[in-house]
Amino acid sequence: MNFIEDYPFSELSSLRTTETASFFCELSDINQIDEIISFSNEKNLPILIIGEGTNIVPTKTFQGLVVFNKLLGIKEIDKMTIEVASGENWHDFVEWTLRHKMFGLENLALIPGTVGAGPIQNIGAYGSEISSFIKKITCFDLKTGSIKVLYANECGFGYRTSIFKDCSDYIILSVTFQFKTDPKINYSYGSLEDEIYNNNINEDNLTHGDIFDLVSKIRKKALPDYKEFPNVGSFFKNVVLTKEEFSKLDITEEIPVYLEGDDIKISAAFLIEKFGWKGYREGNVGISDQHALVLVTYEETPGDEILKFANKIINQIFSMTGIKLEIEPTLI
Ligand SMILES: Cc1cc2nc3c(=O)[nH]c(=O)nc-3n(C[C@H](O)[C@H](O)[C@H](O)COP(=O)(O)OP(=O)(O)OC[C@H]3O[C@@H](n4cnc5c(N)ncnc54)[C@H](O)[C@@H]3O)c2cc1C
């Protein structure tokens, strides 16, 4: 295997930061894992597995071994159960499911990244989340040096989170998806409903393929292209509070809230826009003028500058509302 020293994250991350990793290698076969572990043990380096780098923010030199996931393959276990190697591209897999008449993932079209990174923050969009379709996840457990299978109910899935989110013990090797024989079309999400209404589409005739097309169309309009304006999608999570937590806030501003089960959800995009950050730029970092949740960089930028800018937003909104925004991508 080829272990490359001093590797730039600008080649690995959609946000294009100036940081580097001490070592880099590619993983294209699970039989290479032994060699990767021997190398990291020999040099006493932690391992960081990454996919397409669309949800990481390198904030300093990573004194470790970055492993770039190139594990490929799609296996049909039975008619409705599919095991997908973790390095497959997510959007290509969503297209594959539709071609093979397996439905449900169409609301998650065009989310960048790999299949294996999907469960990390339980990717979600347009009223759907990957966790609803996961049967089990096969991992390599770096602590025990053995393969471990985790069923969906063991993965701690929640809003943009899972047991994998702040834990580097597992390399996800494959994700097994379970599709339903009577899949429902899900168009309850506000902007999806609006798009259907504005295009005079008859809801009774909607197909899963239509949802795929509509979601793709909305995303292309709403989100800046990360290849032109480096970004990691939503930089901040929406805020979910219990009713009790919410009642303790001393909010003097008009802030719309949404009920989510027993909890109260506050739109982070609304807060960022309300306090004047949308379209604001400071040096090489800013908030997109297209979408208030998307932090963009204009040149290769040190990760700590990105973090400083994000913290300015978090602190200002906290001082005005008592609401603390949380950063969504993984900080490295
Ligand atoms: C324009 C844009 C739009 C986006 N829209 C959405 C959206 O709508 N919804 C949403 O949820 N996300 C969205 N994202 C975020 C991102 O696409 C997802 O989080 C995606 O799953 C990241 O995949 P990746 O392969 O790039 O992961 P990476 O950025 O490479 O890694 C992300 C994290 O996962 C870990 N990881 C990656 N692969 C593995 C593995 N095999 N085993 C263990 N850990 C692993 C990494 O160590 C890291 O902590 C968007 C990003 C962009 C740039």
Q: Are 91 and 32 in a shared domain?
A: no
Instruction: Please indicate whether residue 131, judged by its CB atom, sits closer than 6 Å to ligand 1.
Output: no
Please check whether residue 118 is in contact with residue 130, taking contact to mean a CB–CB distance below 8 angstroms: yes
CATH number at residue 130: 3.30.465.10
CA of 124 to the centre of ligand 1 (A): 11
Does residue 93 lie in a domain region?
yes
Q: At what angle do helices 190-198 and 208-222 cross, to 10 degrees?
A: 100
17 touches 9 (CB < 8 A): yes
Within a domain: residue 47?
yes
Q: Please tell me the distance from the alpha carbon of residue 312 to that of residue 285, in angstroms, as a whole number.
A: 12
How many other CB atoms are found less than 10 A from the CB of residue 46?
A: 13
- Mark whether 171 and 195 lie in a shared domain: no
Any ligand 1 atom below 6 A from CB of 226: yes
- Residue 183 covered by a domain: no
With respect to residue 168, please indicate whether it lies within any of the assigned structural domains: yes
Predicted confidence at residue 97, as pLDDT, reads 98
| Ligand 1 binding pocket mutation candidate from 28, 33, 111, 296 (most atoms within 8 A of CB) | 111
* 38 is a catalytic site residue: no
User: Parallel, antiparallel, or unpaired: how do β-strands 62-69 and 20-27 relate?
Assistant: parallel
The answer to whether residue 226 sits within a structural domain is no
Same-domain pairing of 65 and 85: no
Catalytic option among 131, 174, 234, 288: 234
Q: What is the pLDDT of residue 30?
A: 96
Question: Are residues 36 and 86 part of one domain?
Answer: no
**Is 186 in contact with 215 (CB distance < 8 Å)?**
no
Backbone phi, psi, residue 210, to 5°:
-60, -40
Query: Hey, how many other C-beta atoms are within 10 angstroms of the C-beta on 79?
Result: 11
Report the number of distinct structural domains present in the chain. Answer: 4
**Closest residue by CA, ligand 1 atom 50:** 233
Quote the pLDDT of residue 166.
Answer: 86
The CATH number for 23's domain is: 3.30.43.10
Final residue belonging to a domain, choices 69, 89, 112: 69
Q: How far apart are CA 173 and CA 114, in angstroms?
A: 11
Residues 97 and 166 both lie in one domain: yes
The rounded average pLDDT for each run of 10 residues, N- to C-terminus, in the chain (332 residues) is 97 95 98 97 97 97 98 96 98 98 97 98 96 98 96 96 93 98 92 90 92 96 93 96 86 79 92 96 96 95 96 96 95 96
Task: Let me know how many helices (H) and strands (E) the chain has, helices first.
Answer: 7, 20
Decide whether any atom of ligand 1 lies within 6 Å of the 113 Cβ.
Answer: yes
Q: Rounded CA gap, 60 and 303, in Å?
A: 6
pTM, 2 dp: 0.95
Query: 249 in a domain, yes or no?
Result: yes
Flag whether 102 is in a domain: yes
Helix, strand, coil in percent for the chain, rounding step 5: 30, 30, 40
User: Is residue 61 one of the residues assigned to a domain?
Assistant: yes
**Cβ(128) – ligand 1 distance below 6 Å:** no
Classify 142 as helix, strand or coil: coil
Q: Is 50 in the pocket of ligand 1 (CB under 6 A)?
A: yes
How far, in Å, CA of 122 to CA of 132, rounded? 9
Residue 327 burial (CB count, 10 A)? 19
The reply to whether 110 and 43 lie within a common domain is no
The verdict on 92 and 147 lying in the same domain is yes
- Nearest-CA residue for ligand 1 atom 1 is 233
Q: Is 160 a catalytic residue?
A: yes
Which of these three, 54, 69, 84, is where a domain ends? 69
Burial class (CB in 10 A: 0-12, 13-18, 19+), 13: buried
For residue 34, give every residue at least 6 positions away whose Cβ sits within 8 Å of its Cβ, in sequence order, or none. none
Q: Judge if 46 and 103 occupy the same domain.
A: no
In this structure, the answer to whether residues 28 and 83 fall within a common structural domain is no
Please work out whether the CB of residue 49 comes within 6 Å of at least one atom of ligand 1: yes
Q: Are strands 47-50 and 62-69 parallel, antiparallel or unpaired?
A: parallel
58 and 123 housed in the same domain = no
Nearest to 91 by CA among 236, 219, 224: 219
Q: Any idea what the CATH number is for the domain that residue 236 is in? A: 3.90.78.10
pLDDT at 247: 84
The span from the CA of 265 to the CA of 140, in Å, is 35
Q: Which domain holds residue 106?
A: 74-178
Asked which of 69, 97, 122 is the last residue of a domain, the reply is: 69
If asked whether residues 88 and 111 sit together in one domain, one would say yes
- In this structure, the answer to whether residues 267 and 326 fall within a common structural domain is yes
